[in-house]
Structure 1
């Protein structure tokens, strides 16, 4: 039967999906190889179990660090460094910064014109002037409506953009909370397996040593 090369290449990413499992099992196998050799002394078994327990406890710190990184918090090293540099007896340099702010005001100037019938106008002149003024009023109303429509459109677009940004932030926060609740399961499983084997080796170290003689 001819072997498909693409399927063989797909084995590597398939195995990589369970990399945490291989890592956990690999550490346990190393501990068992050290502990279950013939004539292994009891202290070696007990210390190996203790090492696994310490590694299991270290996974708790690992999980907390992953959560802090997920939410953009500084690492434990950076936090400890910041705390140590704040020791009261250490000489520190202070830098003063001065900032200022100003106000920018904008406005619009509008000019309006009217038609005057002139001196000693006739009735026809008054009617013509009135018609022209009515036309100007309609133009002013139309221009004002257009400006209001433009402003309403700008406000509506700004509100839509704000809504999209807020929704994006909510989705991002939801993803982080979901990753915090479920993404650290593999770390907890690794720690639990190491603690289980470590406690077993440390507790039954004497019996295992007697059995291997």
Structure 2
């Protein structure tokens, strides 16, 4: 791990990820596991959120209790596969504002093509967490983060399920100020830009498409 990359090696994260890697895992179970693992990853990526105190009357006394400070979080899903992580994170942070960046990868060039962008207001005042299960070549992730910065975001974090060394390096080069949190750093990319050993196409496995 480094200041830029955090690999969450919690036993529950690793166990659920191994089940997701198995090609025989059916779509419904894959979605369930992704939602569950996103809870655990959300815990890690929000570990250092700013805090303040608020006066609370317990059944016994009044106390200054810790609460989150500032504007509500913004969770931004990189469509379409990012929605799997987004759903689980909203279970834990239901008051978060939600945005979407629609990108698809040109299979010939491996470059991202944007088709949709809708994000909350006041991104400059919010902690922004961009979510996408796979950090492969890094091209789409870099483009999504840049769009968020262009929209005013200043405190951006990136959360993914799997990362390849090539994608991590690309993100570090383009956005050294954006920390990356992932469940695993895999070996490499293949010639088609897929993470190896990986788990296949996260969107296809989540939605049952090919």
Above 0.5 in TM-score? no
So what's the TM-score if we normalise by structure 2? 0.25
**Higher radius of gyration, 1 or 2:** 1
More helix by share: 1
More relative contact order, 1 or 2 (CA 8 Å, 6+ apart): 1
